[in-house]
Amino acid sequence: MLINLTELFTRDGKEKVYTQELEMEKFHAPDGVYDLAEAEPVRLHVVNTGNRTLVLDGSAKLSLMIPCSRCLELVKVPFSLTLERTFDMNRTDEDRVKDLDEQPYLQGYNLDVDQLVRDELLLNLPMKVLCDEDCKGICNRCGANLNYETCDCDRSSPDPRMSVIQDIFKQFKEV
């Protein structure tokens, strides 16, 4: 959802509170695409501090469905995001690129709320998501979810340096 910020430039000190619903239904992360389980409206407070500079602060609460790192069951992960930005409208896009201060959520005088939330989500994604601290994961042989069932697969991991000796023992094994 785009918010037009031009009305804030009429005088210094002007401020406005925006409440916007998120339009995104899926979050595209570097390691996959996650469904948005629930989202509260994003609340933004924008103030014109003078000299064509805007200060934004706000909050967003949402939940994503992220697969467990061990068993791949979907886990509802809540996020409570704090949004704080300063927009210097005197700077050109080229100046921002030079200073590595790109703002893809700001296009001219339009603020893309969904992109702003996506950028903040990228910074707040957890390294590992677990459905339970004691999650047993999945069997690396048959793929069974070990939280719900057991399997008869051999889970011993022999030392690869001993593989030659194990082959000799297998040849002379009694039948």
| SS3 per-residue string spanning 3-67 | EECHHHHHCCCCEEEEEECCCCCEEEECCEEEEEEEECCEEEEEEEEECCEEEEEEEEEEEEEEE
Same domain, 66 and 150: no
The answer to the question of residue 129 being in a domain is no
User: What is the pLDDT at residue 8?
Assistant: 84
Same domain, 143 and 86: no
pLDDT of 93 strictly over 70: no
Same domain, 71 and 18: yes
pLDDT band of residue 97 (cuts 50, 70, 90) is low
Q: Encoding tokens for residue 29?
A: 């992360």
Q: Mean pLDDT, to the nearest integer, of 27-43?
A: 93
Q: How many domains does the chain have?
A: 2
User: What is the pLDDT at residue 120?
Assistant: 92
pLDDT band of residue 95 (cuts 50, 70, 90) is low
% of residues, the chain, pLDDT over 70: 89
Instruction: Give 135-142's long-range contacts (Cβ < 8 A, gap of 24+).
Output: 135/68, 135/70, 135/71, 136/70, 136/71, 137/70, 137/71, 138/70, 138/71, 138/72
% of residues, the chain, pLDDT over 90: 50
Same domain, 61 and 146: no
pLDDT of 175 strictly over 60: no
Q: Mean pLDDT, to the nearest integer, of 6-29?
A: 89
Same domain, 113 and 170: no
pLDDT of 67 strictly over 90: yes
Same domain, 88 and 144: no
Same domain, 110 and 156: no
The answer to the question of residue 111 being in a domain is yes
User: What is the pLDDT at residue 98?
Assistant: 64
Nearest to 74 by CA among 87, 65, 83: 65
Residue 22 C-alpha from the chain's centroid: 15
pLDDT band of residue 140 (cuts 50, 70, 90) is confident
Same domain, 119 and 142: no
Same domain, 72 and 154: no
Same domain, 165 and 85: no
Same domain, 96 and 53: yes
Considering the entire predicted model, what is its pTM? 0.77
Range name among 1-10, 94-103, 109-118 with the lowest pLDDT average = 94-103
Dihedral sign for Cα 94, 100, 101, 103, please: positive
The answer to the question of residue 82 being in a domain is yes
Same domain, 88 and 42: yes
Instruction: Give 87-93's long-range contacts (Cβ < 8 A, gap of 24+).
Output: 87/5, 87/53, 87/54, 87/55, 87/56, 88/52, 88/53, 89/9, 89/52, 89/53, 89/54, 90/51, 90/52, 90/53
- Where in the sequence is the domain holding 156, given as residue range(s)? 138-175
Dihedral sign for Cα 78, 84, 87, 88, please: negative
